[in-house]
């Protein structure tokens, strides 16, 4: 069972439209293992970018994200990057708001 510390801030990642608006980038390698379960490894040091090898997903933040934003930076062949904003989470169990006219029927 996963335990959380009440003092730790809870955040969520929201997909954004560009690298310029991103607080974090999820880096996926096309040669990575198909079963990428678990949390991605977090990289915040620009020096750690030099050692990126195909494998599980990486979450790039901080100074390392600044390095990725530089023109001409190449992480490798077959690498895909997905930009995200980091936003506060209102609740760990929050559900998306229901829009009017949406109806969910219960299973029997």
Tell me if 71 is assigned to some domain: yes
Q: Which band of pLDDT confidence, cut at 50, 70 and 90, is reported for residue 74? A: confident
Report how many domains make up the chain: 1
Tell me if 39 is assigned to some domain: yes
pLDDT at 77: 78
Q: Which band of pLDDT confidence, cut at 50, 70 and 90, is reported for residue 98? A: very low
Bridge partners of 13?
Answer: 86
> What would the DSSP string read from start to end of 88-108?
E-S-TT--PPPPTT---PPP-
Tell me if 108 is assigned to some domain: no
Tell me if 10 is assigned to some domain: no
Q: Name which of 86, 85, 63, 87 is nearest 73 in CA terms.
A: 63
Tell me if 94 is assigned to some domain: no
The parent domain of residue 73 ranges over: 15-88
> Do the Cβ atoms of 68 and 25 come closer than 8 Å?
yes
Residue 69 has pLDDT above 90, yes or no: no
> What would the DSSP string read from start to end of 59-80?
EEEHHHHHHHHSTT----TTEE
Tell me if 3 is assigned to some domain: no
Tell me if 62 is assigned to some domain: yes
Residue 34 has pLDDT above 70, yes or no: no
């Amino acid at each position: 069972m996963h335990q959380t510390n009440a003092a730790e801030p809870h955040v969520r990642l929201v997909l954004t439209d560009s690298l310029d608006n991103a607080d974090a980038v999820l880096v996926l390698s096309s040669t990575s293992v198909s079963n990428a379960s678990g949390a991605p490894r977090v990289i915040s040091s620009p020096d750690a970018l030099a050692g990126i090898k195909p494998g599980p997903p990486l979450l790039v933040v901080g100074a390392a994200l600044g390095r990725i934003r530089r023109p001409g930076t190449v992480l490798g062949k077959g690498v895909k990057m997905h930009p995200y904003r980091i936003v506060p989470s209102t609740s760990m169990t929050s559900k998306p708001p229901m829009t009017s006219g949406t109806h969910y029927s219960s299973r029997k």
